Amino acid sequence: MKRQFSRFFGKSKKRSALLAFSTVTVLAAVSVGQEIKAYFTPPEIFVAKPYVQLGQGKIENEKVSHDVLFLARNDKHEWELEYKTAGAKSWQKAKPLIKSVLEESQPEAVSLFSTTLSGLPAGKPFTYRVYRDGMETFSANAKAQVAENQAFKFIVAGDLGAGSHGQKRIAQRIYSESPDLWVMPGDLVYNMGLLSDYLARFFPIFNADESKEAIGAPIMRSTLCVPVIGNHDIAQSVMLAPTNLNRMHDALGYFLVWSAPLNGPLKQFQGPNICPIVGTQSKLSAFQQGAGKRFPQMANFSFDFGNTHWIVLDGNYYMDWSNPEMRKWVSEDLAKASSAKWKFATFHQPAFSTDLYHLKEQRMRLIVDTLEKGGVDIVFAGHAHNYQRTFPLHFKPTTGKMNHDGTVDGAITLDKAYDSTENTKPNGIIHIVTGAGGARLYSPTDNAEINRMGDFLLKQISDCHSYTVCKVDGGKLTVSQISDAGKVIDKFSLKKD
Ligand SMILES: [Fe+2]
C-alpha cells in the first residue's frame, strides 16, 4: 500500500501539491470478481496541524525569528520545513525540527515538533510548508512581528477553549480582523488545560482548516498568539492542591504546546512562585522532558511588539507578588523597556473586578503599584467571563500583603476626568477584563456588589461573547470591544506625545 501511495502522489517535492492529505480517500483494494471498492482514509498526519509562535521574538536589524510547531505521533517519519518571505525568489530551509515526546514513553506517543524560522523581515508576510518523507503535507501564510515604527492591530481575549458556539464565533470574528497579534489572558482551554483538552477544544477550533461559524478559523497557523497562564491551565482538581500528574498525566499543556520568550525570573523545577506538581518519578520526568525550560520559565515573561512592551504575569494561587525578587524582576523589566511608547501588563486573575465569583481574589493588586511606577498604560485580564473597564486608577496598598480572605487593603484613586475625546491622557492604569472569549458567560447581575467594592468600574458587558481590538499607531491607541455578532460594544482611545 505504501508503494501505491508513492506512485499516486509522487516522491518529488516539485510534484507534490498535497495540501489536505488527510481528507483524501485512497483506493485500497478491489475485491476479486466484485465491483465493490473498499476505501480507507490514511491516518491523520498531524495530531495538531502546524502553527506559528512568537518564539524568542527579538527583532535585530529589522529581522525577526519565529517558531513553527506541530504535534504528531512519535514515529519514524522524516520531517522538513521550508519558508519564503513574500516577494522572495527562493525557499529557505528551516533548521532541523526538534522533537520532544510529550507523553510517557509509549509507541505512538504524541510529540511536539518545532523549528525556528530566522531572518524574517519584520512586519512582512511569509509562507511556510511542511514535508513528511519528502511530500508536502501542509502550507500556510503568516506575518512576522512588526518593527517599532509600524502601526499594527492586536486582539486580547481570554477564557477561550470551551468548545462552545461562542468560542467558534469569536474565532471566526478574530480571524476576519487579520490581527498582527493575539494575546490570550488565561484559561486557554477548559476544563483542566490538559494536552487532551487542547486536542479537543483548542486546536480544532483555533487552527481549523477554514473559517466557518460552526467550525472555527485557521488563526494559529497564521497569527502570532501569546499565552497567559490561568487557573484552568494548571489542572487543579482540588482547591490549592498541587497539580497531580498521577491523576492527569497530560496536565499543564500550557508548558508543552506554546513557545513564548524564555526570559522570566523562575528557572528551577520546584520552589516558591512555581506551580507545585506531584506524581511518580517517571511522570514527573516525562513532563520535565516534554516541557524543557518552558516550565516554569514561560509562566512569567516579557516581549516587545512594535512600539509596545508587554509583561505577562502568573496570577495563580501559588504566586506571592509581595515577594521582593519577583517585584524586582517586574520593576527592572519595565524600566528596561524605556523606549516603548506603550506598556501593557497581562495576567489572568484581575486586580480589579466586580464579579461575585472572584470578589476575594485580589492577589494581583499587590503588584499594581510596581506596574504604575513602571509606566504601564493598560492591564488586560480575564477570569471573569465578561467585559469590564475601569476608570484610570491608582492603587496604594496599605500593608503590601494579602489578607487571609484573599483581599488586599489599599486606597483607590480614580481619574474621572479622562473621557477619551477631550481628555485623552488617563491618569492611572485602565484595567480591562476581557474574559468573554468562549467560556460560559457570567450573569449581567454579577456586578451587584460594585458599590461595596469601590466605584472603579466604568463599563461592564456580560450578555455576549466578545473580544478586544486595539489599534496602535505611534502615540495613538484605540481600543474597541467587539461582540461575537460584530457589534462595537465599547470604544475608547488614548494619546501620547
Ligand atoms: Fe475562566
Percent of the chain with pLDDT over 70: 89
Reported as a single tens digit per residue, the pLDDT across 464-488 is: 999 999 999 999 999 999 999 999 9
| Residues at Cβ < 5 Å from ligand 1 ion | 159, 187, 439
Question: Do 113 and 188 reside in the same domain of the chain?
Answer: no
Q: What is the pLDDT of residue 434?
A: 98
Phi-psi region of 384 (alpha: psi -120 to 50; beta: other; left: phi over 0): beta
Give distance in angstroms: CA of 269 to centre of ligand 1. Answer: 26
Give distance in angstroms: CA of 36 to centre of ligand 1. Answer: 51
Give distance in angstroms: CA of 139 to centre of ligand 1. Answer: 33
Give distance in angstroms: CA of 228 to centre of ligand 1. Answer: 12
Question: Do 280 and 345 reside in the same domain of the chain?
Answer: yes
Of 143, 172, 199, the position where a domain reaches its end is 143
DSSP structure class, residue 19: S
Residue 14 has pLDDT above 70, yes or no: no
CATH number for 300: 3.60.21.10
Give distance in angstroms: CA of 186 to centre of ligand 1. Answer: 7
* Least confidently predicted of 74-78, 226-230, 476-480: 74-78
Residue 14: domain span: 2-40
CATH number for 81: 2.60.40.380
Question: Do 362 and 417 reside in the same domain of the chain?
Answer: yes
Residue 292 has pLDDT above 70, yes or no: yes
Question: Do 318 and 397 reside in the same domain of the chain?
Answer: yes
CA 384/CA 433 separation, integer angstroms: 7
Of 242 and 57, the structure prediction assigns the larger pLDDT to: 242
Give distance in angstroms: CA of 192 to centre of ligand 1. Answer: 11
Question: Do 239 and 259 reside in the same domain of the chain?
Answer: yes
| Residues 419-446 as b or e (16 or more Cβ within 10 Å = b) | eeeeebebebbbbbbbbbbbbebbeeeb
Give distance in angstroms: CA of 266 to centre of ligand 1. Answer: 25
Give distance in angstroms: CA of 439 to centre of ligand 1. Answer: 7
Question: Do 128 and 264 reside in the same domain of the chain?
Answer: no
Reported as a single tens digit per residue, the pLDDT across 159-172 is: 999 999 999 999 99
Beta bridge partners of 132: 79, 135
Reported as a single tens digit per residue, the pLDDT across 297-326 is: 999 999 999 999 999 999 999 999 999 999
Give distance in angstroms: CA of 248 to centre of ligand 1. Answer: 19
Of 143, 172, 189, the position where a domain reaches its end is 143
Q: What residues contact 89, with CB distance under 8 A and at least 6 apart?
A: none
Chain center to CA of 90: 31
Question: Do 432 and 470 reside in the same domain of the chain?
Answer: yes
Reported as a single tens digit per residue, the pLDDT across 378-437 is: 999 999 999 999 999 999 999 999 999 999 999 999 999 999 999 999 999 999 999 999
Reported as a single tens digit per residue, the pLDDT across 323-377 is: 999 999 999 999 999 999 999 999 999 999 988 888 889 999 999 999 999 999 9
Question: Do 34 and 68 reside in the same domain of the chain?
Answer: no
Q: What is the pLDDT of residue 450?
A: 53
Question: Do 452 and 359 reside in the same domain of the chain?
Answer: yes
Give distance in angstroms: CA of 384 to centre of ligand 1. Answer: 6
Total domain count, the chain: 3
Of 126, 143, 160, the position where a domain reaches its end is 143
| Residues 161-173 as b or e (16 or more Cβ within 10 Å = b) | bbbbebbbbbbbb
Question: Do 207 and 309 reside in the same domain of the chain?
Answer: yes
Chain center to CA of 313: 13
Question: Do 164 and 283 reside in the same domain of the chain?
Answer: yes
Mean pLDDT of the chain: 89
Of 116 and 357, the structure prediction assigns the larger pLDDT to: 116
CB 306 within 8 A of CB 337: no
Give distance in angstroms: CA of 315 to centre of ligand 1. Answer: 13
Give distance in angstroms: CA of 231 to centre of ligand 1. Answer: 7
CA 227/CA 482 separation, integer angstroms: 21
Give distance in angstroms: CA of 361 to centre of ligand 1. Answer: 13
Question: Do 423 and 279 reside in the same domain of the chain?
Answer: yes
Q: How confident is the model at residue 446 (pLDDT cuts 50, 70, 90)?
A: low
Residue 20 has pLDDT above 70, yes or no: no
CA 272/CA 207 separation, integer angstroms: 35
Q: What is the pLDDT of residue 28?
A: 32
Give distance in angstroms: CA of 385 to centre of ligand 1. Answer: 6
CB 243 within 8 A of CB 234: yes
Q: What is the pLDDT of residue 493?
A: 97
Q: Give the strand pairing for 125-132 and 79-85.
A: antiparallel
Of 178 and 87, the structure prediction assigns the larger pLDDT to: 178
